[in-house]
Structure 1
Amino acid sequence: MENLRWRPTVNERDFIERALQSDLRVDGRHSFDFRKLKITFGREDGSSEVQLGETHVLSYVTAQLVQPYRDRPNEGTLAIFTEFSPMADPAFEPGRPGESAIELGRVIDRGLRESRAVDMESLCVVAGKHVWSVRVDLHILDNGGNLIDAANIAALAALSTFRRPECTVGGDDGQQVIVHDPEVRDPLPLTIHHMPIAVTFAYFGEGNIVVVDPTYKEEAIMGGRMTATINSNGDICSIQKAGGEGVMSSVVMQCLRIASVKAADITSKIRKAVDSYTTEKALKKVKRLPVLLPQKINVTDVTMEDKDGAELEMETLKTPDDVQQISKDMASTGKASSHEDAQPMLTESSNAEVKGTSSSGAAGESEEAQEIGSPKSLKDAIKPKHKRKKKSVKR
């Protein structure tokens, strides 16, 4: 519904054109400056969200096993689908895609698929029977101008983080495909050779004024538009001139040089965002054990009595080092006391042995030695001596 699209007034048109002639833009940028780019990722692999100024695009990548085309039995497929919601712009119609949605899908598909950015042969499982079909869904959440560049960046970011399930071929005939769960085997990333970045230029004043990344209001009054898809190496993947006034070849070459510089800058931002996302996700998978911290040991006050009756008090122990120090002190004092107690016991036993040897005599009979060495009872001390019986004398 073109009648619902925003139309600038005459004064607004004159103000924007005069500002562009003075190398100024409504939002404060210069002619060849991009708006602020923000790339975020979802919880699942293959989902990304891009904000380019006021433009908001969501991308989601899925894959499934299908039969390949007959002319390319060893290659997978890549398809781009767009969805324009009326919430993003009142000019978008719900349901069937309009001309703008078809144009957006074709420009991005030409830059990604025809430039062979994604390795299609790596998506083949069984030649002629099973290949992976990758689908990229682009949802326009807010139309702030330059949908092509924002959607292209969202598609590249989603493809960079997408992981397809790993599968093996087995069975009796060797043609049966087994798809493994992510818990059994880690999914595999896509093989991306390069990143084709789309850079859109808008022309004003019969092609004399050129700006990069036009806004919603600038697109309403521009005379023409050109989208150049270039990778960081400077290779031109595709060029599209969407109607409007003609442009000189010198202006086109200038735009290509500018697009090459912008493509290298945007590629570095995408790779930096993807690397940070991959690192953060890898750290979440690592199982971390709890760190063993030293615990405080609290011991109550204990009162001990020495042999002499002196009281010994133990202070409350607060740290494990205090416990070890006191245990060492107690061990050392215990050894000393046991050594002192052992000395008088040794002297007494030695004296007893000397006495036993002297009383036994030189012969040293074993029985007498045992009697002397063994302790005597009270009966043995008071036992009377044997008296001889007096013989009676007969008279």
Structure 2
Amino acid sequence: MPREAEPSLNERQFVLQALQDSIRLDGRELDQYRPLELTFGDQYGVADVTLGKTRVLAKASAELTVPYADRPLDGIFNIATELSPMTSPAFEVNRPTETEVLISRLLEKTVRRSGALDTESLCLVAGQKCWSIRVDVHVLSHDGNLIDAACFAVVAALRHFRKPDTSMEGGVLTVYTPAEREPVPLSWLHSPFCVTWSFFGEEGDIALLDATWMEEQVRSGSCTISLNKHGEICQIAKLGGVPVEAVSLLQCTNVALIKAKDMSSKLDKWLAEDAKRRDKGGLLAELSAENDRVPDI
């Protein structure tokens, strides 16, 4: 299996020495994210997220299927990740790496197991018909912090997605096309976001947010905190590395809450802008036209 080129000894020492002086190579503060951008596709459920030079594309889709036998009243929700050789020479097709497995598990715990999506609303006929929602995550460019970017892309794609409307009459299930009925959004309960901290030094006394690829290569450990804007923690993943004091972890959690609120407000703004753009000439335009015709009193 090909390996990615590792930083040289001089590069490692330079990065670590700069971090000890609270200096990052790109000039950011230790708790500052790179610019976050989101672009929606022409179809519902396509989210293109850019975090610095890291770029992730998520696409949500739905199909009718049979629910699991042990959960006849729930729909199905899956997340699939793909890291292609286009992202990095270290990744190969159909050969999941440790990074890909880690991202899949963290996204699974953050979004699916936290109950962000109401799977009961996906059930159409108990034990017979349900919606299967699938989100495909494609990493297009890797410059560090794939987990946070991928989580934001998944949440954005699911909140933007619209599934076909259905009706049940006389035991007959009817699925309407977008031309017949307007597609309906998913039943969304809360929006969890991942905030990943990286620790440096032998004792992990230096902590920073949104590490670049170079910073990830020299860090001593990492911790991913998944939470929503209400401060409800979905998971804390500390997978090896140097131990972190409880007080430091609490401080990281407090900062993560601020970042999660910021991500949530940005996503709400981008969703509102996209809805307004898609409704151009639609219902909103009709209402505004009617208001324009009302004479001033």
TM-score by length of structure 2 reads 0.93
**Inter-CA distance 40–8: structure 2 relative to 1 (3 Å threshold):** same
Which amino acid is 2:261 matched to?
A: A
Task: Compute the displacement of 1:286 (Å).
Answer: 5.9
Superposed counterparts of 1:275-290, under 5 Å: 275-285=272-282
> The residue matched to 2:130 in structure 1 has which SS?
strand
SS in 1 for 2:271: helix
Aligned to 1:196: 192
CA RMSD of superposed structures (Å): 1.6
* Aligned-residue offset at 1:4: 2.4
1:163 aligns with 2:159: no
Match for residue 209 of structure 2? 212
Report the equivalent of 1:106: 105
Give the C-alpha shift of residue 87 in structure 1. Answer: 1.1
Mapping of residues 242-261 of structure 1, within 5 Å: 242-261=239-258
User: Which residue is equivalent to 1:51?
Assistant: 50
SS at match of 1:111: helix
Greater fraction helix: 1
The 2-side partners of 1:280 and 1:287 are apart by 10
AA in 1 matched with 2:185: P
Name the stretch that deviates more: 8-17 or 226-235.
8-17
Aligned equivalents of 1:240, 1:92: Cα separation in 2: 23
Unaligned runs of 5+ in 2: 287-297
The Cα of 1:192 is off from its aligned counterpart by 1.1
What letter matches 1:191 in structure 2?
Answer: S
Distance 2:31 2:131 in 1: 40
Instruction: Using the TM superposition, give the Cα deviation of residue 244 of structure 1 relative to its aligned residue in structure 2, in angstroms.
Output: 1.3
Q: How does 1:204-353 map to 2 (within 5 A)?
A: 204-205=200-201, 206-285=203-282
Give a deviation string over 1:34-81, Cα, whole Å, max 9, x none: 000000010000001000000000000001111112222111111000
Distance 2:190 2:270 in 1: 16
- Superposition pairs for residues 120-135 of structure 1, below 5 Å? 120-135=119-134
Query: Which residue pairs with 2:294 in the alignment?
Result: none
What is the alpha-carbon distance in structure 2 between the residues aligned to residue 114 and residue 253 of structure 1? 23
| Counterparts of 1:271 and 1:134, CA distance in 2 | 22
Is the Cα–Cα contact under 8 Å of residues 197 and 209 in structure 2 kept in the other structure? yes
Which residue type is aligned with residue 181 of structure 1? Answer: T
CA–CA distance in structure 2, aligned partners of residues 123 and 72 of structure 1: 12
CA distance in 2, matches of 1:287, 1:260: 34
For the residues of structure 2 that align with 1:221 and 1:287, how far apart are their CA atoms?
A: 52
1:78 alignment partner in structure 2: 77
Distance 1:189 1:199 in 2: 26
Q: Which has the higher contact order (CA 8 A, sep 6+)?
A: 2
How far off is 1:6 after superposition? 2.6
Residues in 2 aligned to 1:102 and 1:12: alpha-carbon distance in whole angstroms = 28
How far 1:285 sits from its partner (Å)?
4.0
- Residues 110/279 of structure 1: CA separation in 2 closer, same or farther (3 Å cut): same
Q: Distance in 1 between matches of 2:254 and 2:143?
A: 26
Distance across 2 between alignment mates of 1:98 and 1:178: 42
CA, structure 1 residues 62+284, in 2 after alignment: closer, same or farther (shift >3 Å)?
A: farther
Q: Summarize the Cα distance change of 1:11–1:284 in structure 2 as closer, same or farther, 3 Å threshold.
A: farther
- Structure 1 unpaired stretches of 5+: 290-395
In structure 2, relative to structure 1, the CA distance for the partners of 1:284 and 1:149 (3 Å cut) is farther
Q: One-letter code of the match for 2:71?
A: R
Please say if residues 6 and 220 of structure 1, whose CA atoms lie closer than 8 Å, have aligned partners that are also in contact. Answer: no
**Residue 148 of structure 2 aligns with which residue?**
149
1:172-206 CA-to-partner distances (Å, cap 9, x unmatched) read xx1x3211111111111011111101000001012
1:170, CA displacement in angstroms? 2.9
SS in 2 for 1:229: strand
Cα distance, 1:118–1:281 mapped onto 2, change above 3 Å? same
Alpha-carbon distance in structure 2 between the residues aligned to 1:287 and 1:150: 32
Deviation at 1:108, TM superposition (A): 0.6
1:284, distance to aligned residue in structure 2 (A): 4.7
Structure of higher CA gyration radius: 1
